[in-house]
Structure 1
Amino acid sequence: MAALDRGEPAPIRAACEAQGPLGVLARLFILGDAVAEEDAAAALAPMKLEQAISAGYVTRSEEGIAGEWDIRPLDAGTGTRWMISDPDGSLRLREPRRDHVLGVGAASLSLLRATPARRAGTVLDVGTGCGIQAIHAATYGERIVATDVSERALLVTRAALALNGLEADVRHGSWFEPVAGEQFDQIVANPPFVVGGTDVELVYRDSGLELDGASEVMVRDSIDHLRPGGIAVMLASWVHLDGEDRRARVASWLPGHGIDAWIVQRDVADPDLYVSTWLRDADADLRDPRGQERQQRWLSYLRKRDVTGVGFGFVFLRRTDAPSDILCEDLMQGFDDPLGDEALRYLDRVEWLRDHDVLDARFALNPTVALEKVLVPGEEGWAPAVTRVHRGDGPRWQHEIDELGTMVLAGVRPDGLPLGEVVELAALASGEDPDEVLPQAVVLAEGLVRHGLLVPADLAEGGGPA
């Protein structure tokens, strides 16, 4: 598996030698090796070799029998599923087709972990590719619709669904055209969000829309296809333009009413790194003049459009009947907990904030919260520099607070005083004017509630999300 991640076939081939039929299958469908006919026939049994050839799984040549597809198991936490895709370019020297069907990569797995898996009546997977999100949706959705602009991707998705004994309504078309007029309880999407021009070299990567137009279309148009209370989760990218706030750019894709949005930036790449990464993903050799020409053309386009960086992350949406609440923030820190459950809890906390005055509410601290005080050398020994509260689970947020904030958080209890009274007592004890402190306390409390450090008593007592 480590060699697989590194894209090194030789150690994988060596590990397969003593594995009998299993090793032959791995060589056929992961490495794409040609093997002797008798070995292939034994490994494929009870399927007949001629059946496998006529079905297009393998081909016969002078070198022997070779696999045409990448077929491998995947356990994403709900049991083994079998996934099909075009051969992995990191393991086989093969020019990718324009309609190349990408396998399950890091982006697909990150979206899977970021997708809320609560029970849902209807689920839409836009741009299904190899079908991984639709197959995962079968674990929580009652009816699945999967779409893609690529007929080849839909062929692969149908095959993968059949191989796993699952059913979905698979439809051909671009963006939301195949589901015009329909609404869903949940939408999941891994669209062709790569930032570039209008050329489409690889269908899974390039949308033909300029800059971050693909992400804008997905974010904007998904809202019309959500039922009230419905949730959308998608991978997206956005450009950082010279002199423009990228948060305002992304927020402008959403309406002023009817949506709660949590937009999380997980990484930012400078144009040079961004372009070279995606070219290598398409097996371009940047030492070759042709590869360098493609790289120069792409970089020149981004420079002319004043692109200083490209952000990447997740967009979580919930349809409401209230004024929109849109938060764009960085989430660069490392964490292990799946983001899907946290996204649901975040949206629930936003709904709670809309319906409550934090000063009238009672709170408890998330039990994972820790207080950190940083001291630095001063003229007379250690001098306080900053005080923070850290959340120890989920995305592990941290907030800076002052001494008064520390006193307030020490005084909150689910069976105690409302927050406003706790703030007033802390202010009087510190010699500060409560009227001046209360507005600052509201801002701090709302931020801590959004990030799950401060838990409303009614949510905690009712078993609701922290």
Structure 2
Amino acid sequence: MTADVTDPRTGELVGRLRTDLAGFTVDAVNDLLGPVAQAALGREQTLPARIVVSQHPDEPLAALVAVFLLGLEVPAARLAPAVPTIGLAGLAELGLIATAGNDPGDPVRALLDLRPYSTVDALGPADWWLISDFSEVATGHPLNEDHVLGVGGASLTLARCTIRRPTGRVLDLGTGCGIQALHAARHAQHVIGTDISARALHLARINWALNSGTVPGAVLEGRPGSLLEPVAGELFDLVVSNPPFVITPRSVPAATFEYRDGGMVGDDLVRHLIESVGTVLAPGGVAQFLGNWEGRRDEGWTDRVSSWLETSGLDGWVVQREWQDPAEYAETWIRDSGQHLGKDADDLYAAWLSDFASRGVDGVGFGLITLRRPESGEPRLRVVEERRSGPGLPWGDEVISTLERQDWLAAHDDDALLAAMLKVAPDVTEERHHLPGAEDPSVILLRQGGGAGRVVQAGTALAGFVGACSGDIPVGRLIAALASLLEVDGQALSTELLSDARNLVRDGLLEPTV
């Protein structure tokens, strides 16, 4: 992998840092801290970890954890043995630390968070290091406006849900610290990361260079600019984005942060992305991004998002995973920035509630948006659904499978579907629930063990149809046999079951055998 860190001196320093960080891994940190301190960090409690590192004053790994993960000051003499190749002067030149003087006892503190990152996606395990800004947990202060976010829950969600297949050009819109671009570089030839934040692009470029040995074939490039402006006129096979989608009151400048606020009113940024991303998608290209959307008294969220998909002219699949009322939403993002630590938190809270009230907002949804530019013709996939329980958002391979199944359905009209043969997917089970003493079930559920973890309530006819789908009998013959057995009108049953069969194929509960 090559990254566009053009300054030779910076490249040299990053190479030295990479050498020193060889033992700074997730496993090594976990072993040092132990399960109790590690779990406490997950709850944003640093004291147990601080106690552990204080018990290992001569351990280089403990010094790295103390300085770069916990934000603690340590004597220069303690950190220096952990970075013998780049040295303290080199760390300072990269902007990673500040030193109080030149004596071994003078304190050193980190200016940036530097930590190991370990993951497993569809391509297997990956181990990287990532530089970002410290959170408010480490600093004890609210974040700065130009804060560069590290890897959080949203980043991990998007990385998990993104399609991972060999591809040419990928756009990471709003790259932040560059984590999605690193994931994309594992399966793409050329990745362009864009961001409106100059600091974010600077740190992303350093992160790409720091991890350049992990994906030697890819090219990573950073470009400044807002949304799609830096790549206007270009086409991409995949667009990924954890965009600045947070719905922020425009009346309060203190609520805005570059990493999360796109500068638009309400959910207009997500609407704009859905409606415009098709201009940079190559035929067959896919866009996947996270977003928020409003549910309003005069327009529910499903109608709202569906209208955006209609305008986009793209295949669309939107999965809502979370829903918060206006007060919950405001509390979440005030806490996210550390502003609950400040004296003006109530004013921010009130501004958020007033902003939502001005548009009649009942709640805000969060989820994953998948869009595809059709190879030709009209869009075929339009699904807007809520999944607040079960596995939730789909994995990348499930996204691919859903798109491929939709293509199969589009190529099979009703006559072709009647002639096709279907089989039950191997991860599907059937549950029957009986009232005490009842002979017939009151509820029949078809449950998907993998994929998106769907559960479908089936009537007698649908349950019988699915149970008979063995992959060697045409659909039309199965429906005719069921109509005779149930003594119902064959044409009416065919209309009902063909619609159901299409939904089950689309969702992966039934599979075509040819």
What are the equivalent positions in structure 2 for 1:125-164 lying under 5 Å apart?
125-164=172-211
- The residue number in structure 1 matching 2:14 is none
- The residue number in structure 1 matching 2:148 is 101
The counterpart of 1:73, out of the listed 87, 93, 116, is 116
What is the identity, as a one-letter code, of the residue corresponding to 1:8? Answer: Q
2:471 is the alignment partner of 1:414: yes
What is the identity, as a one-letter code, of the residue corresponding to 1:128? Answer: T
Q: Distance in 2 between matches of 1:163 and 1:146?
A: 16
Q: Distance in 1 between matches of 2:393 and 2:304?
A: 29
Q: Distance in 2 between matches of 1:145 and 1:192?
A: 17
Contact 2:135 2:143 in 1 (8 A): no
2:205 is the alignment partner of 1:168: no
How far is the alpha carbon of 1:243 from its aligned partner? Answer: 3.2
How far is the alpha carbon of 1:371 from its aligned partner? Answer: 0.8
Gap change, CA 1:257 and 1:88, over 3 Å in 2: closer
Gap change, CA 1:319 and 1:113, over 3 Å in 2: same
What are the equivalent positions in structure 2 for 1:191-270 lying under 5 Å apart?
191-198=243-250, 199=253, 201-255=256-310, 258-270=313-325
- The residue number in structure 2 matching 1:38 is 77
Gap change, CA 1:255 and 1:383, over 3 Å in 2: closer
Contact 2:387 2:393 in 1 (8 A): no
Gap change, CA 1:289 and 1:23, over 3 Å in 2: closer
The counterpart of 1:87, out of the listed 106, 127, 134, is 134
The counterpart of 1:185, out of the listed 209, 212, 237, is 237
Q: Distance in 2 between matches of 1:419 and 1:28?
A: 65
Q: Distance in 1 between matches of 2:85 and 2:160?
A: 35
**TM-score, with structure 2 as normaliser:** 0.85
What's the CA shift string for 1:82-124, capped at 9, x where partnerless?
1110012223213311110000000000000000111111100
Percent identical across equivalent pairs? 35
What is the identity, as a one-letter code, of the residue corresponding to 1:182? Answer: E
- The residue number in structure 1 matching 2:370 is 316
How far is the alpha carbon of 1:289 from its aligned partner? Answer: 4.7
What is the identity, as a one-letter code, of the residue corresponding to 2:317? Answer: W
- The residue number in structure 1 matching 2:445 is 388
What is the identity, as a one-letter code, of the residue corresponding to 2:196? Answer: V
- The residue number in structure 1 matching 2:6 is none
SS at match of 2:383: strand
Contact 1:337 1:394 in 2 (8 A): no
2:87 is the alignment partner of 1:48: yes
2:85 is the alignment partner of 1:26: no
Gap change, CA 1:55 and 1:125, over 3 Å in 2: same
Q: Distance in 1 between matches of 2:221 and 2:306?
A: 32
What's the CA shift string for 1:391-429, capped at 9, x where partnerless?
11122101111111122112222222x112201111111
User: Which stretch of the first structure deviates more once superposed, 214-223 or 154-163?
Assistant: 214-223
Contact 2:248 2:256 in 1 (8 A): no
Contact 1:337 1:393 in 2 (8 A): no
Gap change, CA 1:95 and 1:405, over 3 Å in 2: closer
How far is the alpha carbon of 1:258 from its aligned partner? Answer: 4.8
2:374 is the alignment partner of 1:331: no
Gap change, CA 1:281 and 1:215, over 3 Å in 2: same
User: Which stretch of the first structure deviates more once superposed, 232-241 or 382-391?
Assistant: 382-391
Gaps of 5+ in 1: 459-466
Contact 2:392 2:453 in 1 (8 A): no
2:340 is the alignment partner of 1:303: no
Q: Distance in 2 between matches of 1:115 and 1:210?
A: 27
User: Which stretch of the first structure deviates more once superposed, 13-22 or 359-368?
Assistant: 13-22
Contact 1:72 1:84 in 2 (8 A): yes
SS at match of 1:227: strand
2:464 is the alignment partner of 1:401: no
Gaps of 5+ in 2: 1-37, 214-218
User: Which stretch of the first structure deviates more once superposed, 400-409 or 106-115?
Assistant: 400-409
- The residue number in structure 2 matching 1:367 is 426
Contact 2:270 2:291 in 1 (8 A): yes
What is the identity, as a one-letter code, of the residue corresponding to 2:76? Answer: E
User: Which stretch of the first structure deviates more once superposed, 194-203 or 289-298?
Assistant: 194-203
What is the identity, as a one-letter code, of the residue corresponding to 1:42? Answer: P
How far is the alpha carbon of 1:337 from its aligned partner? Answer: 8.9
Q: Distance in 2 between matches of 1:437 and 1:363?
A: 17
**TM-score, with structure 1 as normaliser:** 0.94
Q: Distance in 1 between matches of 2:282 and 2:466?
A: 38
Q: Distance in 2 between matches of 1:337 and 1:197?
A: 28
Give the length in aligned residue pairs: 454
Contact 1:189 1:233 in 2 (8 A): yes
Contact 2:275 2:308 in 1 (8 A): yes
Contact 1:335 1:396 in 2 (8 A): yes
Q: Distance in 2 between matches of 1:338 and 1:13?
A: 37
- The residue number in structure 2 matching 1:462 is none
- The residue number in structure 2 matching 1:13 is 50
How far is the alpha carbon of 1:256 from its aligned partner? Answer: 6.1
SS at match of 1:186: strand
